[in-house]
Amino acid sequence: MNPVRVIEAVRDGDSLDPDDLARFLEGYLAGEVEEYQMSAFLMAVVLKGLAPEALERLVGTMLHSGAVLDLSHLPGPRVDKHSTGGVGDKVSLVLAPLAAACGLYVPMMSGRGLGHTGGTLDKLEAIPGFRTDLSLERFAADLEAHKVAMIGQTAEIAPLDRRLYALRSVSGTVPSIPLIAASIMSKKLAEGLTGLVLDVKMGSGAFLPDRDKALELARTMVEIGARHGVPTTALPTAMDRPLGRSVGNALEVREAVECLHGGGPDDLREVTVALVVEMLAVSGAGPEGRSGAEADGSSADRGPDRDSLRTRVVERLESGAALELFSALVERQGGDPHVVEDTSRLPQAAVVEEVRSQRAGIVQEVHPFPLGRASVELGGGRIRLGQAIDPAVGFDRLVQPGDEVEEGSLLGVVHAARSEDARAAATVLREAVRVGGDPATLVPLLGTPLASSGDSP
Ligand code: URA
C-alpha cells in the first residue's frame, strides 16, 4: 500500500479499496504512515467524503484497533450517551450520575476538547485531583460496584480514534460526517453497550451547522449502531446558542454541580433530562419493564411512556440521588469531593472582567462558535498537539436568547489568565451577543428522536 495513492484516491473521489484503507490506517498506528500524510488524508475526507464501504472499514478498523469491553456480566442495561460536540456542553457531568441513579449502568468514556468545543475529560480534570486515566480493570470494577465511572479513552480502547481525534482537533479536520461518525461510534461500540444515545447538536455552534448534514450524521451513526447490534437513538438538540450560561472547564463544572443541586439553567436541565429519558427508553428499562436484551435496534417497540420516564428522571435529580452519586464518583476517582458543596474550590482565573450591554432590549442571539473559539484561545482548549490547558478560563453568567437587558446590564463575564486576553475575549463576547432588532428564529431546544427504523425528526 502506497500512502500517497490512498490520499490521492480520496482527494480525487476515486474508488478506494477498503483493504488499502485498512492498511493505511494500521500503518499510521505502526508509525509507517506519517502525521503529515494522515493530516492530508483527513483533509481529503473532510472535502470529499468517504463511500459507505470505506466508512464501514474505517469504523471497523478504529474499533478493532483496541480492546472491546465485555461487560455482559453486569445484571442490567449498559447505556452511554455521546455528543457530537457543542459549546457549553457540560451535560455528561450531570447525565452520567443521573442515569445511574435511574438504574442504568453507565460506562462513560469521554474525549478532550475538540476544535472549538470543550471535552468532558478536560472538564472533569478541572476538579482538583480528579483522575480520568483509570485502568480498564478498575473501570469495570467501579461500574459493577457503583453503576457509573467516567474515564478517558484508555490506550486500549480505539487507540486509532485517540490519535486521530487529537490530530483532527489541531488540523482543521473535524467537520466531516464519516470522520465524526467513525470517531464516536468506534469508541462507543468498544464499551460493550446494550444501548446508546447520541446528542446531535444542531445549529451554528455544531461541527455541522447545516441542518440536513447534522441529520445525515445522526442517521449514519444510528445505522452504524444497528449494524453492530447496539440499539441507538439520536436526539437533535439546539446548538445555535451555548448550552447553559458558562463556557470553559471549571466554570462548566460549577454549572453542572448547580444542576445536580436542582438549580442551574433550564436548558441544561431540559437537555440532560431528555437524554436520560432516551437512555431509559433505548435500554427498555421503562415502566413497562422491557429488558435491554429485547431491544433490537428498531424504534418500533421503543415506546415506553416518555412522560412516566421523565417523572422518574426528574425525581432522581431533585431528590439529590444523582448528586450523591456524582460526589462519590469524584471522591473515588481522586477528586476533591468538597467541590460538590463548595465550587469556589475549583481553579479560579487571575483576571475576571464583566462585559455590559450598550443598549436595552431583548437578547436575540448568542453566537456559540466565536465564544467556543475564544475559550480555546484563552487557553481552555488546544491549538497544538498535547498542549496543556488552563482549566480556569472561559465565560460565565452569559445571557441567553430571550433575556431582557437594560443598557449597562451584564452580557457575561470573562475569566482569563492575563488582562490582554480578557480584553480580546470581551470584544468577542460583545460581538457574539445581538440585542434587539428582528427576533431570531432559534433551533428548538429538543428535536424528535431518531432511531434505526428510519423515523425522521
Ligand atoms: N465527538 C467525538 O468523539 N468525535 C468527533 O469527531 C466529534 C465529537
Kindly state the average pLDDT of the residues 211-233: 97
Mean pLDDT computed over 224-233? 96
For residue 182, report the distance from its CA to the centre of ligand 1, in Å.
8
| Contacts (Cβ under 8 Å, ≥6 apart) of 133 | 151, 152, 154
Percent of the chain as helix, strand, coil, to the nearest 5: 45, 15, 40
Minimum-distance ligand 1 atom for the alpha carbon of 207: 7
Which band of pLDDT confidence, cut at 50, 70 and 90, is reported for residue 154?
Answer: confident
Which of 246, 258, 249, 283 has its CA nearest to residue 80?
283
- Checking if the pLDDT of 289 tops 80, the result is no
Tell me the pairing of strands 195-202 and 79-83: parallel
Task: Give the number of other CB atoms < 10 A from CB of residue 309.
Answer: 22
- The pLDDT of residue 296 is 35
pLDDT given for residue 387 in this prediction? 86
- Write the pLDDT tens digit of every residue in 324-358: 999 999 999 999 999 999 999 999 999 999 999 99
DSSP 103-128: T-BEEEEE---BTTB--HHHHHTTST
Categorize the per-residue pLDDT at 22 as very low, low, confident or very high, splitting at 50, 70 and 90.
Answer: very high
Share of the chain above pLDDT 90, in %: 89
pLDDT of residue 384: 84
> What integer is the mean pLDDT of 226-251?
97
Instruction: Report whether residue 184 contacts ligand 1, using a CB cutoff of 6 Å.
Output: yes
Q: Mean pLDDT, the chain, as a whole number? A: 93
Mean pLDDT along residues 268-276:
98
Grid cell of 278 as nine digits:
432516551
Mean pLDDT across the stretch 414-439?
Answer: 97
Q: Could you tell me which of 209, 186, 30, 188 has the C-alpha nearest to residue 115? A: 209
Answer positive or negative: Cα dihedral of 34, 39, 40, 46: positive
- Measured CA to CA, the distance from residue 23 to residue 437 in angstroms comes to 55
Model-level pTM? 0.93
Residue 386 banded pLDDT, cuts 50, 70, 90: confident
450, HSE (Cβ side, Cα atoms, 13 Å)? 23
The secondary structure element, H or E, covering residue 73 is none
**Is the pLDDT assigned to residue 54 strictly greater than 70?**
yes
User: What domains are defined for the chain?
Assistant: 3-49 (1.20.970.10), 79-341+446-451 (3.40.1030.10), 349-436 (3.90.1170.30)
Instruction: Calculate how far, in angstroms, residue 161's C-alpha sits from the geometric centre of ligand 1.
Output: 9
Q: Known catalytic residues?
A: 82, 161, 168, 183, 187
Q: Is the pLDDT of residue 410 over 50?
A: yes
Q: What is the pLDDT of residue 378?
A: 98
Residue 238 pLDDT: 98
Mean per-residue pLDDT, 32-53: 97
pLDDT value at residue 284: 84
Q: Is the CB of 119 under 6 A from ligand 1?
A: no
Q: What is the mean pLDDT of residues 13-31?
A: 96
Helices (H), 247-320: 249-260, 266-283, 306-318
Gap from CA of 344 to ligand 1 centroid (Å):
31
DSSP one-letter code for 311: H
